[in-house]
Amino acid sequence: MRHSLVCALSVLFVLFLGPSHGLFGQGAGSTFDLDRLGSASKALGAGSSLLTAEQVPTDDIIDPSIYRLGPGDVLAYQTTSIDFNEKMTSVSPENTVMIDRIGMISVGSTTLARFRDTLRSIYKQRSPNIDVYVTLRRARMIYVTLSGNMTFPGTYSVPASMRVSTFINLMRQPWLLSRDGGLSEMARTANAATAVPSRTPEFARTNSPFLGPYAMRNVLVRHRKGVSYVDIPKSRLDGFSHLDPHLREGDEVIVPAEDPTSQTISIAGAVVNPTTLAYKSGDKLSVLLAAAGGFADNADRQSIKLVNSANGPSTKVIVGDDFTLQSEDVELVPGATVIIEAVKPTGKRNFGVVQVYGEVQNPGAFAITAGESKVASVIEQAGGLTGNASLGLSYIVRPEVAPGTQIQQRDEANRTFQYSDLKLEDTTRYHFDQKYRMPYVSSDLSNALLDPTSLDNVALEGGDIIVIAPTPDRVYVYGQVQRPGYIPFAKGKTLEWYVERAGGYATGAEKSRSRIIRGRSKVWVEEDENIYVEPGDEVYVPRPADVPINTEIQTYSVIASIAASVGLLAATVISLFR
């Protein structure tokens, strides 16, 4: 009797829980599979080994309606039966997958969304109460060929989750696909100027960081079966993601050269990315908005207009704060332009800050009105000069953004020198001046403070730096003098006076080439009885130039030849008069 009671309770338990809770994984006629519960924890552990490979980056969310499965894809699936653990499987080289309790299923070249529907249909046929969920856990690696108007054509290994637009952008710097993120390649190509040039013809290559207006909308992808046409700007619109598809095995991405005769449409003004696109029949206003990328900070969102023909009136366009079109999505004609105006200035003054250093009563930072506040008024805000200030050595610096590398600096200097009329001998001196120039503001601060109406009382800009130098009490004398060194400053003294205080000229001194080097500008000034040494100046006496013996012989030979020629000419003239 006890045995009969246990059997009856067992039957009731199974009948009560089975159909309603999905315990019958293969249908109403199946028995309760106790082994499944025991192996449930093993399923995830075995499948997780498929995810131990090195992670590769992806560029966008997978669109299951256009992503086509292929060998190497790792899929995960879950059912709503009692075995709710996630299981994983991979697509085999024959394009099949093994599903637990189902068997082998061919995926062909189907999309992820279609495979989900197929697997769900199979489960529903076996047990209407069970549903199944499928997701792509890891995309496969594939080979894709790049050709056409690109600097680095070739065949590359990339994840199948990558879209065509990302692939093209990466191929402008293909070393970014390497394991170290391109660090080794960037180091190797640091001296790219000396690298062997590509054999690709110039007309077939481009170094632009972006595709041109025509290529952006006319990339061709040749599949093993069929072709796809890529329209990158339009693919950003809802419902058009198929215009920037995921890559497949064996694809060839062909980037066309720019067509200067193609018609265009454009969006300009206060947007993140003002752009011009090649026109395609059926283009609408939303295409230009998708290409622009959003409002700029200074956009006047109430002043947006569409000029859809050369002679027609402009049409007001309404765009929401999220940069979505609120008015009619009108069809465009070739040459159409969307103009988003910037907010007009409200008349507020442009405020800035300048720094004052050195010999003033209260050095520090001071607020100014850029382009209006004058240097004299700022020094007055700083409490005026101290008794030790030297206006002759003081200066104003306006920091400028200089080229970052030495190569860029040299290129900038050469570009400036390109059309000059300087002689070749001037090149070295020019490069010195260009390399060591200082971003001074041209102003004599002595005149600026003495006469606030003078042109030297310049208007300041935000970021300017005023340096009021202290008055030096000495002058440095060096070169071919007996006792080079510092000499106490004396007002109204000439170069000769300071040389005498330094012990006079040393043997071999080139007196005629002695110079005063001005303290602030470093300009060399010749000696004159009316020119005086100022505080902070230097006095330099050079020695004779070191001339090679061959050069001296040639010089003396030329002098001798000239003297002989003059003597011969004189003798000839005398003989003629006789």
128 and 7 within one domain = yes
- Judged by average pLDDT, the poorest of 55-59, 176-180, 186-190, 527-531 is 186-190
User: Is residue 561 included in any domain, yes or no?
Assistant: no
User: Is residue 419 included in any domain, yes or no?
Assistant: yes
| Confidence category of residue 512, pLDDT binned at 50, 70, 90 | confident
**For residues 394 and 468, what is the distance between their CA atoms, to the nearest angstrom?**
5
| Residue 240 CB neighbour total at 10 angstroms | 15
47 and 19 within one domain = yes
Is residue 220 scored above 90 in pLDDT? yes
Average pLDDT value for residue range 324-340: 89
In this structure, are strands 538-541 and 474-479 parallel, antiparallel, or unpaired? parallel
| Confidence category of residue 193, pLDDT binned at 50, 70, 90 | very low
* Segment 444-459, tens digit of pLDDT: 888 888 898 999 999 9
310 and 221 within one domain = no
User: Is residue 384 included in any domain, yes or no?
Assistant: yes
* Segment 149-187, tens digit of pLDDT: 888 889 998 899 899 998 888 887 655 555 444 444 444
Average pLDDT value for residue range 77-93: 85
Burial class (CB in 10 A: 0-12, 13-18, 19+), 477: buried
| CB of 78 closer than 8 Å to CB of 87 | yes
155 and 92 within one domain = no
Count the domains in the chain.
5
pLDDT at 510: 86
Handedness of CA 525, 527, 530, 536 (dihedral sign): positive
Is residue 143 scored above 70 in pLDDT? yes
450 and 385 within one domain = yes
Q: Give percent of the chain above pLDDT 70.
A: 78
| Confidence category of residue 555, pLDDT binned at 50, 70, 90 | confident
Structural domain boundaries enclosing 251: 141-188+201-255
User: Is residue 370 included in any domain, yes or no?
Assistant: yes
164 and 93 within one domain = no
**For residues 476 and 486, what is the distance between their CA atoms, to the nearest angstrom?**
4
386 and 430 within one domain = yes
125 and 7 within one domain = yes
pLDDT at 55: 61
pLDDT at 42: 43
CATH number of the domain enclosing 177: 3.10.560
| Confidence category of residue 69, pLDDT binned at 50, 70, 90 | very high
- Judged by average pLDDT, the poorest of 117-131, 285-299, 337-351, 458-472 is 337-351
- Judged by average pLDDT, the poorest of 279-293, 348-362, 379-393, 417-431 is 417-431
**What angle is formed at CA 131 by the lines to CA 105 and CA 51, rounded to 5 degrees?**
60
| Confidence category of residue 204, pLDDT binned at 50, 70, 90 | very low
User: Is residue 527 included in any domain, yes or no?
Assistant: yes
- Judged by average pLDDT, the poorest of 422-426, 532-536, 559-563 is 422-426
**For residues 295 and 116, what is the distance between their CA atoms, to the nearest angstrom?**
39
pLDDT at 209: 45
User: Which amino acid appears at position 449 of this protein?
Assistant: L
160 and 114 within one domain = no
Q: What is the pTM of this model?
A: 0.54
User: Is residue 578 included in any domain, yes or no?
Assistant: no
Average pLDDT value for residue range 245-253: 92
* Segment 97-131, tens digit of pLDDT: 998 888 899 988 889 999 999 998 988 888 888 88
Burial class (CB in 10 A: 0-12, 13-18, 19+), 544: exposed
Average pLDDT value for residue range 417-431: 72
User: Is residue 479 included in any domain, yes or no?
Assistant: yes
240 and 208 within one domain = yes
**Closest to 536 measured CA to CA, from 391, 397, 360, 437:** 391
The helix (H) or strand (E) run that includes residue 265 is strand 264-269
- DSSP per-residue codes, 328-339: --PBP-TT-EEE
| Confidence category of residue 484, pLDDT binned at 50, 70, 90 | very high
129 and 75 within one domain = yes
User: Is residue 574 included in any domain, yes or no?
Assistant: no
pLDDT at 114: 93
pLDDT at 173: 67
Mean pLDDT of the chain: 79
6 and 131 within one domain = yes
Tell me the two tokens of residue 94: 């024959």
Longest dimension (CA), the chain: 169
| Confidence category of residue 417, pLDDT binned at 50, 70, 90 | low
Is residue 550 scored above 50 in pLDDT? yes
| CB of 52 closer than 8 Å to CB of 230 | no
CATH number of the domain enclosing 492: 3.10.560.10
Average pLDDT value for residue range 348-352: 73
pLDDT at 352: 86
| CB of 131 closer than 8 Å to CB of 120 | yes
Pick the last residue of a domain from 99, 118, 135: 135
pLDDT at 174: 58
